[in-house]
Structure 1
Amino acid sequence: MNRARLLIFNAALGPLDYRVPDGMQVEPGSVVVAPLGPRQIVGIVWEEDRLPTQSVPDAKLRPLLAVLPVPPLKAELRRLLEWTADYYCASLASVARMVLSSGGALRGPATTIEYRLSGGMPERLTPQRLAAIDALDGEQATIRELSGMAGVSEGVLRGLVNQGVLEPVEVDCDRPYPPVDPAFAEPELSPDQRDVADRFVGAVKQCQFAPFLLDGVTGSGKTETYFEAIAQNLRHGHQTLVLLPEIALTEAFLRRFEDRFGAPPIVWHSSLKSTERRRAWRAIAAGTAQVVVGARSALFLPYAKLGLVVVDEAHEVSFKQDDGVRYNARDVAVMRARFENIPVILASATPALESLQMAQTGIYEKLVLPARFGGAELPSIDTINLIEEKPDRGRWLSPRLVEALKDRLEKGEQSLLFLNRRGYAPLTLCRHCGFRFQCPNCSAWLVEHRLSRRLACHHCGHETVPPDACPECGEPDCLVACGPGVERIAHEVEEILPEARLAIVTSDTLNSPEKAAQFIAQAEAGEIDVIVGTQLVTKGFHFPELTLVGVVDADLGLEGGDLRAAERTYQQVAQVAGRAGRGAKPGEVFIQTRHPEASVIAALAAGDRDAFYEAETEARRHAGAPPFGRWAAIIVSSEDEAEAREAANRIGATRPNFDDVMILGPAPAPLSMLRGRYRYRLLLNARRSAEVQQVIRDWLGALSFPQGVRVAVDIDPYSFV
C-alpha cells in the first residue's frame, strides 16, 4: 500500500487519506499515528471501498508517522464495528473508540513504578496520613490510583514516599496471567445438565455460528453447563468471553471459575486500574488471554482467536447502554459471534421476550434446565395484599412478613428483603410549608441517604448535606422523609429485630469487587441474618441458609410508564425469589402488593411463567411492540429550554410519512431536565419490515441545529425517561 485511508476518532472530520512512507508496512486494521495540523492523532487503517470520501491526489497526502506495536484489528471486528454503527445510528468513529479504550496498551512493552506500604511509620502521624495507611493496607498501584483509593491528595502520599512509608515497586506491564486448566476440577453433572453441556461442547467443536438460549430455573446449574463449553474451547486453544451485567457479581463468579479451572479469568470493567487495563488489553490482542469476564465494554476488545461468547443473566437491562453509543450488549454479542463464526450462549432464568421469540422462530436453539440442581425445590410463593394486611402505622412490613422474619432468626436461617429503591426515602419535604428538596440539575427529587448524611440525585450525582431547618420557611426540625428506601426498611428491621445482624446491599454499599467479596464471605459464614437490598441482590448469589425472601413493594416497578414494566417486574421478582431455598432447606417468598389481581403478580404467585409470557406476548403483538414491531427514540436536549423545544418542534414538523412507521411527539421527556439540559423526546413505532435506521438518517440528516443542541438516537430503547 502506498496510501492508506484512516478512520480517526473525530466523527466531524470523517475518514482521511495519508501516504505510506517507503519501508512502512500497513494493512487494513493497522493502528497508526498520523499528523493532523500541528497535532499527532491515532487512527485505524480501513478498506477504502468501505469508507468512501473525496479522493485526494497523491501529491497532497501527508505521510503516516508510525505504526503502533499492536496487532491489526481483525476483519471480523471491523465488520462488527460497521454493523454496530449502522444499526444504532452512531458514528463509526465513536464505536471504534471503544476498541482502543486503553491508551497505554498501544505503546510497546514497558515497566511501570507502583507503590505499596513498606510497614514503616512516618515521623509525624497526621489524620490524613493515618487514613491513607489504613486504606492502603494490601494495595499496590500508582500514586494517582492510591490517592483515589485512600481519598487523600497525591501530595500526602508523596510525603509518605519521602519518609519510606510507601516503597516503589517496578512492575512488568505485560507479565503473563496464570494459565487455566480445563481438566482441573471436572464436575458431576445431573442428566439434564449433561445433555445441555454435551450440546454446547458439540457446538464448540464444530467452530460455527450457533446461537443458544439457555433457559434454566434459578439454581438449576446453568453456569456449570456453559463451563463445560469453556473447557472445550480452552482445549482448542481459543479465547472465551463471558459477559456479566454487574461488576458486583464478578467476585462470586471469579471464585466459582477458579474452583473449576484452577486459576481466575481475566477481568475487564471500568473500575480496573490503568495498568491492569493495559495488561489485559495486550494479552487479549496477543491471544494469550484465555478467558475474559467483563462488563458490556469487554465485547469490543480485539480478541485474537475468539471461540465462544457467553452472556450470563442475558435478560438484564444493564446490558443496554443509555449514553454515548446506545447499544445492547446482548444483541451485539450475538452479532460478534456471527461475524466470528462461533457459538454464543445467552443464559437466563427469565429470558427477555425478544430472546424467547427468536427461539420460537428457530433462530436461536433453546435448551432448558427445568429443575434445581441436587434435589433442591423451588420456593413457595404467596402474596400479601397490603390493603387487607396493612403494616403497623409508620411501618412498611406487614405483620405476616414480620412474623416470618422472626421465625427465620430463631431458626438461625437467613432472610432477604427486596426493594428496588436506594437510600432512606425518595422524597424529603417540609411539614410546615410543603417545600420539597429537588435537584438543581434534574427534574427529580433528592433522595435522602441517612447512613452517609446526604441528599443525593440518582441521575446526575448532585449531593448536599440535609439542613437543620427548612431552606424555604426557616422552620427547624420540620423535615419529613416520605416513602421507603432500603435504609428505611433496614431501620425498621433493627427496631423489630434488634439482635439481627443486618447488611444493606446496593450499588452504594457494594461499589467495588472487594466490597462484594466481603459481603459474600460474611453471608456464607452465617455472619448476616437479614439482607436488605435493591436489584443487585436479585441475581448471581447462592446462600444455602437463605430461606425467606420478602418483596417489600412489588408494585414499584409497574409505575412510571415503562413500556416493558410488566416484563421487568416479573424478571426482578422471579430472580429475587430464586435466592430462597437453594440448599437443603425449603424456601418461602412473600410478595407485598396492593394489586394482587395484576397479571404479573398473579403469574408470580401461581408460579406460571408460561401464562405470563403468553399474555405479555399477545399484548406486545397487539401493540406492534418488540419483538413484533420496532421502537426507536429521538432525544433532543439543550441547556436552553426554548432552544431544545424549538429544535424538537422542527424535527416533528419535518417528520416523514410512511405507512409502516408511526411517529409520536415531540413531547417533554418524563425526566424533562437531566444534568442541566432540557429534554424532549419523539418515539417511532414501526413494523419489523421498516428500515427505521434509514428513515431516521434521511430525516435528521437534512436538518441542522444550533451548537448547543444535542440530538441522540436510541434504537430499541429500554429507558423511556
Structure 2
Amino acid sequence: MNRVRLLVFNAALGALDYRVPEGMAVGPGSVVVAPLGPRQIVGIVWEEDRLPAESVADARLRPLAEALPVPPLRAELRRLIEWTADYYCAPLSAVARMVISSGGALRGPATMTEYRLSGGMPERMTPQRERAMERLEGEQATIRELADMAGVSEGVLRGLVNQGAMEPVTVDCDRPYPRARAGHAAVELNPEQAGVAARLVDAVNEAAFAPFLLDGVTGSGKTETYFEAVAAALDADQQVLVLLPEIALTQAFLRRFEDRFGAPPVVWHSSLKSTERRRAWRAIASGEAQVVVGARSALFLPYGRLGLIVVDEAHEVSFKQDDGVRYNARDVAVMRAHFEGLPVVLASATPALESLQMAESGIYERLELPSRFGAAELPAIDTVDLTEDPPERGRWLAPRLARELAERLDKGEQSLLFLNRRGYAPLTLCRNCGFRFECPNCTAWLVEHRFSRRLACHHCGHETTPPATCPECGEPDCLVACGPGVERIADEVAEILPGARVAVATSDTLNSPERAAEFVAQVEEGAIDVIVGTQLVTKGFHFPELTLVGVVDADLGLEGGDLRAAERTYQQVAQVAGRAGRGEKPGQVLIQTRHPDAPVIAALAAGDRDAFYAAETEARRHAGAPPFGRWAAIIVSSEDEAEAKEAARAIGGTRPDLGDIAIYGPAPAPLSLLRGRYRYRLLINARRSARLQDTLRTWLNALDFPRGVRVSIDIDPYSFV
C-alpha cells in the first residue's frame, strides 16, 4: 500500500500518516492537502525514517485530498529545517511554517483583481473619501490593502468603486520579473577589491561549501566587491540570496543593485503586500527569481537553484529573532550554505566575535579590505569628556560638538548625531508629586513622542495621550520630560542652529521602504543639514557630504545586563563613525562620554579595533562565554504572577547537576512584566563540548506546566531582558 508521512503545521499533532490515492504522485518534499477531522490542512511529505509518528493500520488511513502545484521542497532544505529545529529547540512544524510563508502561492497560476484611482470623482465627497483619494494616489492593490494604506474602512473604498472613482485592474499574479544582467555596467575595482572579488568568483564557480568573512572597513567597497560574485552566479544561471538587517536599508541597496545589473532584485520582507509575497514565493521556488534581497525570513524560502548567499552587515543583532523560532539568520545562513554546497559571504566592518574566532580557527576564510575606496580616508576620532566639558544646563550637546556643528553648517557640509533612544524623552514625571508614567502591560516607562503627541511603550506598543494634569495629584502644567531622545536632540539643534534643516531618522520616521528612500534622496540632494538618528543610521548609508558624526551618549549601550554590551557598543559607534568622510572631504567623529578611559571608548578613540577585540576575546575566554562556551536562556511567563513564579521554581528545582553546564536562576527578568505577562529567566552557561540541547529537552520535557504558562528556550541569546 502507498502511504506517506506528513509534517503538519501544528506541533501538538506531531507527524500524521495518510494513504496516497491511485493516480496521485507525491514524494518527500511534496506539499499536499490532507483531511483532518472535518477540516483540510496543508502538510509536507517527509521521509518516514526521519520523522516518528504513531503507528496506524493501513485500513484506518485517510487518503490525501490533493497535491499542490508547487515544486517539492528539496532535500537540502528539509535537512536545514531539521537542523534549525534541533539546534534552537523549536518544533519542526514551526520552522517548516517559515518555508510555506505564502499560502496564496500554493494554488498555482492565477489572476486577481486589484484597484486603483480612475481619475473620476464621486457624486458625493465625504471626509473619509477625500482622505482615501489623497492617500491612494499612484497606489494599486486589493481593497483590503488599500483600506489599510488609507486608514479607512473597506466600505468607503467599495463606495468609490461603485461611484466610478476607483477602477478594477486584472493582474497576472505570476508575471515575470525584469532580468538582471551580469555585464550591464562596468565596475572599476582597486587592486585590493579585485583580489577579494576574484576569490569569491572562484568560489561561486567551484560550487562547493565555502564560508567567507569579508572584513572591510566602512567605505571600503564591500558591496561592489561581492557584486562580482553575484555576477558570476548570474552567469552560471544560479540564484543569489542577499540578507540585509533592516528594511530601511533596502531602497538604497536596490538602487545600487539596479545601477550595476540593470534591473532590481526580487524583494522579500514583512511589508510586502500579499500579492507581492505570492509572486515572489512562486518565482523563487521555480528558480525564475535571480537575486533575492530580504530580511532574515528570506533565508527559509524554497530556492530552486541557489548558488550564493551573502549576509550584509553580518554583525547586526537584528538577524537574531527574539520570538517564535529564536534563530540567528547569520548562523543559519552558514548552515544552509553547508547543506546546499555553496559559498556564503558574511560581510561586515565590525564582525561578531564569534565570526572572527571562526576565521582565526580556519573554519571561515577571511578576506580583508583594510582601506577606503578612492580618495576617501577614515575619519579622525576624538572623545569629549562630559565631566570636563559639560553641556549647558538643560542641554545635551557639549560646547565643542555644538561649535563643530555650526562650522559644518557654515561650510555647507552635513552632520549626523547618533543617540540610540527613540522619542523625545525616556521618562515623564510630575514635578509636584513624583508620579512617573509607566506602561500598564510592561515593566517599562512610557516614552514621550512629541512629534506624534503620545506617550508610548517601546515593548508592547501601548499608547496614550499626555494628559493636561497629573493623574496622581491632579496638578496642571507639572509634567517634566527627563533625559534625551532623538526628538529632544533635534529640538536642541534647531535652537542652537536656527537655520539648520534637521531630520530625525528612526524606525518611527523611516517605517517603510518608501519613507527611507525619500529620506536618502533628501540627504543626497543636500536638503538636510543635520541628521539625528538611532542605530538605524549606523549602517549602509553612503552620504559623501556628511563630514561630522557626533555620538551624543556613548555610555548608553554599556548600561544594563547585556552580556555583549562592550562588543555591541563598539560595533554601533564604529559603524556610525564610518558614515563620516566617505567622499573626498575629510571626516571627524566626536564621542561624548563620561568614561573616556573605559576600554571600549579608548579603543574607539584610538581607532584600534584589534586591541579591543583581543581584550574582549580574552575576557570571553576567561568567562567561558561565546565563542569559547555556549549560552542559553529559559524564559518562563504567565499572565498570573504566582503561576509564573511557581513554574520557574519547578524548573530550577529539577535542574540537572552536570559538570560542563552551569545554571543560574530562576530570577525575575529585567523586564519582569512584558505585554501583560510576568516573566522569569534562567541563564545556562555550557562548555562547547556539552550536549546542551539534549540536556534542555530532557530536563523540560519531564515537567508539566499549567495551560497559562509558556516556557521558551533561547539558544545563543542576544537579548537578556
Q: What secondary structure, in the 3-state scheme, does the structure 1 residue paired with 2:99 have? A: coil
Q: Deviations over 1:518-566 (max 9, x none)?
A: 0000000000000000000000000000000000000000001100000
Runs of 5+ in structure 2 lacking a partner? Answer: none
Compute the displacement of 1:239 (Å): 0.3
Compute the displacement of 1:223 (Å): 0.2
1:152 is matched with which residue? Answer: 152
Q: Which amino acid aligns with 2:515?
A: K
2:76 is matched with which residue? Answer: 76
2:594 is matched with which residue? Answer: 594
What are the within-5 Å matches in structure 2 for residues 200-239 of structure 1?
A: 200-239=200-239
2:577 is matched with which residue? Answer: 577
Q: Which amino acid aligns with 1:691?
A: R
TM-score, normalised with respect to structure 2? 1.00
Compute the displacement of 1:132 (Å): 1.1
- Partner Cα distance (1:354, 1:666) in 2: 27
1:52 is matched with which residue? Answer: 52
2:304 is matched with which residue? Answer: 304
1:96 is matched with which residue? Answer: 96
What are the within-5 Å matches in structure 2 for residues 282-301 of structure 1?
A: 282-301=282-301
1:264 is matched with which residue? Answer: 264
1:418 is matched with which residue? Answer: 418
1:668 correspondence with 2:668: yes
Q: What secondary structure, in the 3-state scheme, does the structure 2 residue paired with 1:255 have? A: helix
- Partner Cα distance (1:643, 1:355) in 2: 40
Compute the displacement of 1:375 (Å): 2.0
1:139 is matched with which residue? Answer: 139
Q: Which amino acid aligns with 2:449?
A: H
- Partner Cα distance (2:684, 2:441) in 1: 28
1:472 correspondence with 2:472: yes
What are the within-5 Å matches in structure 2 for residues 347-362 of structure 1?
A: 347-362=347-362
Compute the displacement of 1:52 (Å): 1.3
1:113 is matched with which residue? Answer: 113
Q: Which amino acid aligns with 2:99?
A: V
Compute the displacement of 1:186 (Å): 2.3
2:700 is matched with which residue? Answer: 700
- Partner Cα distance (2:676, 2:193) in 1: 51
- Partner Cα distance (1:273, 1:658) in 2: 50
Compute the displacement of 1:121 (Å): 1.9
2:373 is matched with which residue? Answer: 373
- Partner Cα distance (2:2, 2:454) in 1: 61
Compute the displacement of 1:125 (Å): 2.3
2:329 is matched with which residue? Answer: 329
- Partner Cα distance (1:117, 1:157) in 2: 10
2:164 is matched with which residue? Answer: 164
Q: What secondary structure, in the 3-state scheme, does the structure 2 residue paired with 1:373 have? A: coil
- Partner Cα distance (1:128, 1:415) in 2: 41
Q: Which amino acid aligns with 1:509?
A: T
- Partner Cα distance (2:157, 2:27) in 1: 45
Q: Deviations over 1:121-144 (max 9, x none)?
A: 222222222211111111110011
Q: Deviations over 1:478-503 (max 9, x none)?
A: 00000000000000011111111111
Return 244-253 or 46-55, whichever deviates more. 46-55
- Partner Cα distance (1:478, 1:152) in 2: 37
- Partner Cα distance (1:458, 1:166) in 2: 38
- Partner Cα distance (2:413, 2:163) in 1: 50
Q: Which amino acid aligns with 2:703?
A: L
Q: Is the 8 A contact 2:442 2:672 kept in 1?
A: yes
Compute the displacement of 1:162 (Å): 1.1
What are the within-5 Å matches in structure 2 for residues 34-53 of structure 1?
A: 34-53=34-53
Q: Deviations over 1:385-443 (max 9, x none)?
A: 00110100000000000000000000000000000000000000000000000000000
Q: Is the 8 A contact 2:204 2:343 kept in 1?
A: yes
Moved over 3 A (4+): none
Q: Deviations over 1:502-529 (max 9, x none)?
A: 1100000000000000000000000000
Q: Which amino acid aligns with 1:685?
A: N
Runs of 5+ in structure 1 lacking a partner? Answer: none
Q: Which amino acid aligns with 1:282?
A: R
2:496 is matched with which residue? Answer: 496
- Partner Cα distance (1:35, 1:649) in 2: 41
1:625 correspondence with 2:625: yes
2:401 is matched with which residue? Answer: 401
Q: Which amino acid aligns with 2:328?
A: N
- Partner Cα distance (2:291, 2:474) in 1: 59
- Partner Cα distance (2:265, 2:160) in 1: 34
Q: Deviations over 1:449-493 (max 9, x none)?
A: 000000000000000000000001000000000000000000001
Compute the displacement of 1:157 (Å): 1.0
Q: What secondary structure, in the 3-state scheme, does the structure 2 residue paired with 1:424 have? A: coil
Identity, % of aligned pairs?
A: 81
2:280 is matched with which residue? Answer: 280
- Partner Cα distance (1:468, 1:133) in 2: 35
1:635 correspondence with 2:639: no
- Partner Cα distance (1:56, 1:68) in 2: 25
What are the within-5 Å matches in structure 2 for residues 166-185 of structure 1?
A: 166-185=166-185
Compute the displacement of 1:594 (Å): 0.5
Q: Deviations over 1:650-681 (max 9, x none)?
A: 00000001000000000000000000000000
Q: Is the 8 A contact 2:16 2:54 kept in 1?
A: no
- Partner Cα distance (1:127, 1:428) in 2: 35
Q: What secondary structure, in the 3-state scheme, does the structure 2 residue paired with 1:170 have? A: strand
- Partner Cα distance (1:590, 1:171) in 2: 53
- Partner Cα distance (1:152, 1:328) in 2: 38
Compute the displacement of 1:152 (Å): 1.1
- Partner Cα distance (1:483, 1:119) in 2: 49
Q: Which amino acid aligns with 1:386?
A: L
Q: What secondary structure, in the 3-state scheme, does the structure 2 residue paired with 1:263 have? A: coil
- Partner Cα distance (2:159, 2:483) in 1: 47
Q: Which amino acid aligns with 1:555?
A: D
Q: What secondary structure, in the 3-state scheme, does the structure 2 residue paired with 1:109 have? A: coil
- Partner Cα distance (1:513, 1:121) in 2: 30
1:456 is matched with which residue? Answer: 456
Compute the displacement of 1:55 (Å): 1.7
2:3 is matched with which residue? Answer: 3
- Partner Cα distance (2:153, 2:186) in 1: 48
Q: Is the 8 A contact 2:2 2:19 kept in 1?
A: yes
Compute the displacement of 1:293 (Å): 0.1
2:606 is matched with which residue? Answer: 606
Q: Which amino acid aligns with 2:76?
A: E
- Partner Cα distance (2:577, 2:27) in 1: 53
Q: What secondary structure, in the 3-state scheme, does the structure 1 residue paired with 2:161 have? A: helix
Report the count of equivalent residues: 721
Q: Is the 8 A contact 2:503 2:531 kept in 1?
A: yes
- Partner Cα distance (2:221, 2:506) in 1: 25
Q: Deviations over 1:26-56 (max 9, x none)?
A: 0000000000011100000000000012221
Q: Is the 8 A contact 2:265 2:290 kept in 1?
A: yes
Q: Which amino acid aligns with 2:494?
A: E
- Partner Cα distance (1:503, 1:63) in 2: 61
Compute the displacement of 1:159 (Å): 1.2
2:720 is matched with which residue? Answer: 720
Q: Which amino acid aligns with 1:39?
A: R
Q: What secondary structure, in the 3-state scheme, does the structure 2 residue paired with 1:322 have? A: coil
2:436 is matched with which residue? Answer: 436
Q: What secondary structure, in the 3-state scheme, does the structure 2 residue paired with 1:260 have? A: helix
- Partner Cα distance (2:214, 2:488) in 1: 38
